């Protein structure tokens, strides 16, 4: 966050905390006494959630081609990627050109890839991974991308290796359209998957010699295509990788388990297991930074979140029961016919996906709740890119218009001080009472029975309320509703995190 945002959050947090602190029954929990920093941090996080999700708005629409961007043709966007270290966005159009943009959508460079068909994926080796060390080609150049290594794959059955704008090698081992690429976390292995279900593993440090090749199971006994739609290397093990394929299966491989295939005369790798994750075709796999949660999206209008730690560690031909490993599902969006992208957002607290109803859907990762949708596209939203957890890029099919979404903290204007007028406070309390009236009265009744002042009113009783371990969960529910209502009344539809998650945080910030 920028400095002015930090100042805004600090002022809002102080005001909100002061408001809540002056109503003793909302800050009388035994867990909160003596832990002001924890409560203050939770207040700050609540305001951040409003800014990051509710105030995610279109910052700019960049057109990478001619005309209004909705006419289809060669100017359309077919793939998009980002070099996070250099803050450079790479877009491939229908003319197999690469356009390099900054985070604001301004084009900084454009060049031809010499691919004879459209570029299906652009992959930078530095995305969340170690930098390649044996780089002897670096020169003093004017563009940030010119000293970077990256790859492009294409429907022309080739993979091109790039050093900046220079194509330094072309790999021609695939005999079919190449669909996806990834590199291992130590940048030692390049993986590629094609339409006919073949996977190649290349040794990056030995001029991309083939380490192994895998032939995916055919889709049916007639030998139908079983496209590799997604390859995903783990973030902590250079040998482990997942694949997602047309048949709806996730497969896990360990490249250390090499087996010689006499039919092909090369090494191959057998899957550790396979999971039938989707009834429709597989679209994409994503994994959290700690490798604990695997996100799988498919053309059955479902995204599933797997707990990797609950998956089997030994070899298994097929896992049919997903109940133990699937911890959440997201299924309000529409996806039946197109390869629609998804991603994590805001430090992996949210799951975002495109949709065939021309919208972007935002889910809370842990609860699976649909929080909101983003509108503006005129076609199926098929590409979505998390730029920096504060900015988002989306694109629709047959469009050269890129939508840049940005959080707008300046538009969050919540008046939370002790001078709130009585009518506003009554409105808040009425909404809280409608939801928790019986619980509040029970707390008041049990508290007043133990108090010598028989004439104590509701307000005084609640101000003197001591929350016991037996009713603390009720108190916390009331507090969650109160804060949510307070922000909603003044700031629109708020998206607030779970109170327990915030107060249980062990890394509270000191103010």
CA–CA separation, 259 and 387 (whole Å): 40
Asked whether residue 478 falls in the same domain as residue 340, the answer is no
CA 51 to chain centre: 17
Residue 110 has pLDDT above 90, yes or no: yes
Asked whether residue 466 falls in the same domain as residue 375, the answer is no
Cβ proximity of 76 and 65 under 8 Å: yes
Q: What is the pLDDT of residue 59?
A: 85
CA distance from start to end of the chain = 16
Which SS3 state, helix, strand or coil, does residue 347 take? Answer: coil
Within a 10 A sphere around the Cβ of 451, how many other Cβ atoms?
12
Asked whether residue 324 falls in the same domain as residue 353, the answer is yes
Residue 388 has pLDDT above 70, yes or no: yes
Q: Which of 271-280, 312-321, 466-475, 501-510 has the lowest mean pLDDT?
A: 501-510
Domain membership of residue 370 (yes or no) is yes
For 50-75, letters b (16+ CB in 10 Å) and e give bbbbbbbeebeebebbeeebeeeeeb
Domain membership of residue 83 (yes or no) is no
CA–CA separation, 361 and 374 (whole Å): 7
Q: What is the pLDDT of residue 231?
A: 97
Closest residue by Cα to residue 235 from 278, 163, 285: 285
* Mean pLDDT of the region 170-196: 96
pLDDT-derived band at 75 (thresholds 50, 70, 90) equals confident
Give the number of C-alpha atoms closer than 13 A to the C-alpha of residue 263, restricted to the C-beta side: 4
- If one compares 285 and 52, the residue with the highest pLDDT of the two is 285
Closest residue by Cα to residue 30 from 471, 477, 336, 480: 471
Specify the number of domains making up the chain: 2
Task: Identify the domain containing residue 298 by its residue range.
Answer: 57-73+174-407
Residues 6+ apart with CB under 8 A from 58: 376, 403, 404, 405
Domain membership of residue 146 (yes or no) is no
**Average pLDDT score over the chain:** 78
Cβ proximity of 103 and 391 under 8 Å: yes
Tens-place pLDDT, residues 463-481: 455 556 666 667 667 766 7
- Tokens describing residue 203: 């040794």
Asked whether residue 284 falls in the same domain as residue 416, the answer is no
Asked whether residue 50 falls in the same domain as residue 190, the answer is no
CA–CA separation, 122 and 199 (whole Å): 17
Asked whether residue 402 falls in the same domain as residue 280, the answer is yes
CA 460 to chain centre: 46
Counting residues of the chain whose pLDDT is more than 90, the rounded percentage is 50
pLDDT-derived band at 31 (thresholds 50, 70, 90) equals very low
* Mean pLDDT of the region 194-223: 88
Within a 10 A sphere around the Cβ of 386, how many other Cβ atoms?
19
Answer left, alpha or beta for residue 93, where phi above 0 means left and psi between -120 and 50 means alpha: beta
Cβ proximity of 380 and 19 under 8 Å: no
Asked whether residue 211 falls in the same domain as residue 312, the answer is yes
Bridge partners of residue 60, in order along the sequence: 404
Among candidate residues 379, 407, 435, the one where a domain is terminated = 407
Answer left, alpha or beta for residue 204, where phi above 0 means left and psi between -120 and 50 means alpha: alpha
Within a 10 A sphere around the Cβ of 336, how many other Cβ atoms?
12
Q: What is the CATH number of the domain that holds 384?
A: 2.130.10.10
Q: Which of 72-86, 139-153, 318-332, 417-431 has the lowest mean pLDDT?
A: 417-431
Q: What are phi and psi of 119, to 5 degrees?
A: -85, 125
Asked whether residue 377 falls in the same domain as residue 477, the answer is no
Within a 10 A sphere around the Cβ of 37, how many other Cβ atoms?
12
Cβ proximity of 329 and 368 under 8 Å: yes
Closest residue by Cα to residue 340 from 390, 288, 301: 301
Q: What are phi and psi of 162, to 5 degrees?
A: -120, 140
Domain membership of residue 258 (yes or no) is yes
Domain membership of residue 390 (yes or no) is yes
Closest residue by Cα to residue 407 from 7, 54, 46: 54
Q: Name all contacts of 237-242 with Cβ < 8 Å and 24+ positions apart.
A: 237/185, 237/291, 238/184, 238/185, 238/186, 238/188, 238/189, 239/184, 241/182, 241/184, 241/191, 242/285, 242/287, 242/294
Q: What is the pLDDT of residue 71?
A: 61
Looking only at the bridges linking them, the beta strands covering 88-93 and 282-287 are: unpaired
Asked whether residue 423 falls in the same domain as residue 401, the answer is no
- If one compares 71 and 104, the residue with the highest pLDDT of the two is 104
Among candidate residues 360, 378, 407, the one where a domain is terminated = 407
Q: What is the pLDDT of residue 483?
A: 66
Asked whether residue 213 falls in the same domain as residue 344, the answer is yes
- Residue carrying the six token digits 């916390």: 476
Cβ proximity of 362 and 371 under 8 Å: yes
Among candidate residues 361, 376, 407, the one where a domain is terminated = 407
Q: What is the pLDDT of residue 356?
A: 97
Quote the radius of gyration of the chain (alpha carbons, Å): 27
Asked whether residue 499 falls in the same domain as residue 450, the answer is yes
Q: What is the pLDDT of residue 183?
A: 97
Asked whether residue 318 falls in the same domain as residue 452, the answer is no
- If one compares 499 and 337, the residue with the highest pLDDT of the two is 337
């Amino acid at each position: 966050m920028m400095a002015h945002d930090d100042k805004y959050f600090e002022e809002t947090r102080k005001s909100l905390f002061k408001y809540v602190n002056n109503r003793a029954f909302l800050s009388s929990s035994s867990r909160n006494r003596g832990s002001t920093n924890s409560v203050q941090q939770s207040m700050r996080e609540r305001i951040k959630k409003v800014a990051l999700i509710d105030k995610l708005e279109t910052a700019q629409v960049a057109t990478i081609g001619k005309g209004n961007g909705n006419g289809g043709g060669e100017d359309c966007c077919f793939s998009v990627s980002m070099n996070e270290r250099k803050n450079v966005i790479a877009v491939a159009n229908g003319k197999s050109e690469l356009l390099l943009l900054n985070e604001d959508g301004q084009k900084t460079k454009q060049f031809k890839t010499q691919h004879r068909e459209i570029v299906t994926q652009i992959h930078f080796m530095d995305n969340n991974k170690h930098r390649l060390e044996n780089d002897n080609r670096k020169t003093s150049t004017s563009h940030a991308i010119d000293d970077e290594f990256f790859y492009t794959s294409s429907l022309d059955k080739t993979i091109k290796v790039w050093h900046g704008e220079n194509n330094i090698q072309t790999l021609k081992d695939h005999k079919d359209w190449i669909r996806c690429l990834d590199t291992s976390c130590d940048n030692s292995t390049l993986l590629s998957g094609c339409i006919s279900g073949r996977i190649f593993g290349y040794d990056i440090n030995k001029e991309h010699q083939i380490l192994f090749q895998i032939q995916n199971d055919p889709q049916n006994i007639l030998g139908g295509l079983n496209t590799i739609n997604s390859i995903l290397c783990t973030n902590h093990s250079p040998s482990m990788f997942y694949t997602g394929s047309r048949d709806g299966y996730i497969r896990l491989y360990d490249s250390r388990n090499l087996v010689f295939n006499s039919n092909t005369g090369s090494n191959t790798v057998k899957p550790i297991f396979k999971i039938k994750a989707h009834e429709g075709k597989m679209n994409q796999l994503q994994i959290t930074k700690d490798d604990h949660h695997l996100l799988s999206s498919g053309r059955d209008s479902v995204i599933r979140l797997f707990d990797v730690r609950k998956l089997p560690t030994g070899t298994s031909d097929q896992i049919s029961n997903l109940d133990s490993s699937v911890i959440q599902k997201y299924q309000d969006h529409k996806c039946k016919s197109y390869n629609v992208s998804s991603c994590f957002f805001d430090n992996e607290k949210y799951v975002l996906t495109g949709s065939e109803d021309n919208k972007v859907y935002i889910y809370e990762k842990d609860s699976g709740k649909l929080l909101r949708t983003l509108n503006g596209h005129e076609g199926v939203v098929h590409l979505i890119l998390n730029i920096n957890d504060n900015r988002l890029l989306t694109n629709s099919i047959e469009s050269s218009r890129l939508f840049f979404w940005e959080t707008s903290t300046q538009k969050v204007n919540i008046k939370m001080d002790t001078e709130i007028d009585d009518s506003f406070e009554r409105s808040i309390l009425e909404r809280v009472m409608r939801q928790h009236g019986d619980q509040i009265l029970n707390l008041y009744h049990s508290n007043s029975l133990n108090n010598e002042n028989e004439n104590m009113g509701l307000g005084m009783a609640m101000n003197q309320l001591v929350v016991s371990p037996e009713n603390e969960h009720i108190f916390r529910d009331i507090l969650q509703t109160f804060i949510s209502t307070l922000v909603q009344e003044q700031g629109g539809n708020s998206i607030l995190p779970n109170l327990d998650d915030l107060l249980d945080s062990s890394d509270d910030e000191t103010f």
